[in-house]
Amino acid sequence: MSSLNSPSEFPQAPGLDPAISAALKRDDAGLVAAVVQQHDTGEVLMLGWMDDEALHRTLTTGRVTFWSRSRQEYWRKGDTSGHVQWVKSVALDCDGDALLVRVDQVGAACHTGTHTCFDGRDLPVLTQQAS
């Protein structure tokens, strides 16, 4: 695979607004976490990773693009599955280290075929009563 597909090769995407790029706080691999949420219900669908190029593609195409850490390449949600994510809005958190991508999800969001990546994965939590 070409090293040009590596996120480290895209410290700033040519088309990404320099102010947006400067506001991003990336991890050691040059990535920012992107939480994907259904725009009308608020349901959290999945978590993906973006570098400047993936964010630029997401902001300019209307479709969500991620950097695949396992495949080491860009991937656009729905290209092979048909389960497209249409971008409604993108917000940067207060620290600049996470994105909230609000989408209109078509089909399953999770690669397992479930609606969200969090279906049936609840962990036991000790709850405290408010006083």
Binding residues for Mg(2+): 93, 95, 97
- CB-based contacts of 93, cutoff 8 Å, min separation 6: 99, 100
CA distance 18 to 7: 17
User: Can you tell me the distance from the alpha carbon of 22 to that of 17, in angstroms, rounded to the nearest whole number?
Assistant: 9
Q: Residue positions in the annotated binding site for Zn(2+)? A: 94, 110, 117
- As annotated, the binding site includes 93-95, 97, 110, 117
Q: Are strands 44-50 and 65-68 parallel, antiparallel or unpaired?
A: unpaired
